[in-house]
Amino acid sequence: MQFATWNVNSLKVRLPQVLEWLQSRPELTALALQETKLEDHNFPQADIEAAGFHVVYAGQKTYNGVAIISRLPIDDVVVNIPGFDDPQKRVITGTIGGVRLVCAYIPNGQALDSDKYPYKLGWLEALITWLKDELAQHPQLILAGDYNIAPEDRDVHDIRKWEGGVLVSPPEREAFTTLIGLGLADAFRAFEQPDKSFSWWDYRGFSFKKNAGLRIDHLLITPALSQKLTACEIDREPRKAERPSDHTPVIATFSA
């Protein structure tokens, strides 16, 4: 079993790359997508199903939007965070092969003095509250997505350029630590990894070429899945494509 997360920054633009990537990874069970930027009536469900996949999605115009593409059926689908009134489409959850997969696009926050920053912190609080319930019901759970949080300084190419801003602020990192405190593990850090491993690079200033990136896309997993975890990697290849997303996929592999 293999699960991945990828912020595609517009599925309309990236659909061919996503299908090509899925075909290049026949062992992948399911892929969590963020920033589809498509209203549901424009979602390319038929194209994805024609390629042999199951798919569920929840989107809106211009911003946000999430989806799960899977080789196995997707059951018990929930959109957004139950009990949290949010007009933005940022979460979709389903059960795939006995694994509860939560696909989340955590708010960016924009700036510490922006209204979007308290929205981000409140959003994280609501996610954590709801996740406690989900975890009680699903021993095998993955919180996959674009967290918009670089958990540690080693997840930032140059902390001096980012400190004092969103993605690295202490309250956000504390929310990440709270998630770990629920018993979740950062699948990527379960293994020794190369220094300067990132999942996002700015489009500007040749950031990818300079590897001036951040690690903000994560797969947090429950103890029952940690026992089965055999690998976790960031696939940098899609970032080299023409018209790439600024994010690249993160993949976790589990033994049966």
For the bound state, the minimum distance from the C-beta of residue 198 to DNA, rounded and expressed in Å, comes to: 9
Q: Whose Cβ is closer to DNA: residue 2's or residue 10's?
A: 10
Total residues binding DNA (CB under 7 A): 28
Which of 146, 155, 186, 217 is catalytic? The answer is 146
> Should residue 61 be labelled a site residue for DNA when binding is judged by CB under 7 A?
yes
How far apart (Å, rounded) are the C-alpha atoms in residues 84 and 71? 30
The CB-of-27 to DNA minimum distance in angstroms stands at 27
Q: Any contact of residue 208 with DNA (CB under 7 A)?
A: no
Tell me if 89 sits within 8 A of 66, measured CB to CB: yes
Q: Is 123 in the site for DNA (CB under 7 A)?
A: no
Q: How far apart are CA 205 and CA 49, in angstroms?
A: 38
Within 129-168, strands assigned E span: 141-146
Q: Is 204 in the site for DNA (CB under 7 A)?
A: yes
Provide the 10 A C-beta neighbour count for residue 14.
24
Which residue type, as a one-letter code, is found at position 237? E
The answer to the question of residue 44 lying near DNA (CB under 7 A) is: no
At closest approach, how far in Å is the CB of 204 from DNA? 4
DSSP state of 48: H
Q: Which part of the chain contacts DNA (CB under 7 A), choosing from 2-10, 168-176, 180-188, 228-236?
A: 2-10
Contact, 180 vs 222, CB < 8 A?
no
**Catalytic site residue 63?**
no
When asked if residue 62 is in the footprint of DNA (CB under 7 A), the reply is yes
Does position 55 bind DNA by CB under 7 A? no
Q: How far apart are CA 81 and CA 165, in angstroms?
A: 26
Site track 79-118 with DNA (rule: CB under 7 A), x = hit: ----------------------------xx-x-----x--
Instruction: Tell me if residue 198 falls in helix, strand or coil.
Output: coil
Cα distance between the two ends of the chain? 6
Backbone region of residue 33 per phi and psi (left: phi > 0; alpha: psi in -120 to 50; beta: other values): beta
String of DSSP letters for 106-117: ------TTSTHH
Beta carbon of residue 41, minimum distance to DNA (angstroms, whole number): 11
Q: Which of 43, 57, 176, 200 binds DNA (CB under 7 A)?
A: 200
By the rule CB under 7 A, 186 interacts with DNA: no
Whether 117 sits among the annotated catalytic residues: the reply is no
Q: How far is the CB of 25 from DNA (least distance, A)?
A: 22
Please give the full DSSP string across 57-80, using - where no structure is assigned. EE--SSS--EEEEESS--EEEEES
Q: Give the separation between CA 107 and CA 253, rounded to whole angstroms.
A: 27
Is residue 7 involved in binding DNA (CB under 7 A)? yes
Binding positions for DNA, rule: CB under 7 A: 7, 9-10, 12-13, 35, 37, 61-63, 107-108, 110, 116, 146, 148, 166-167, 200, 202-205, 214, 216, 243, 246-247
The residues assigned a catalytic role are 105, 146
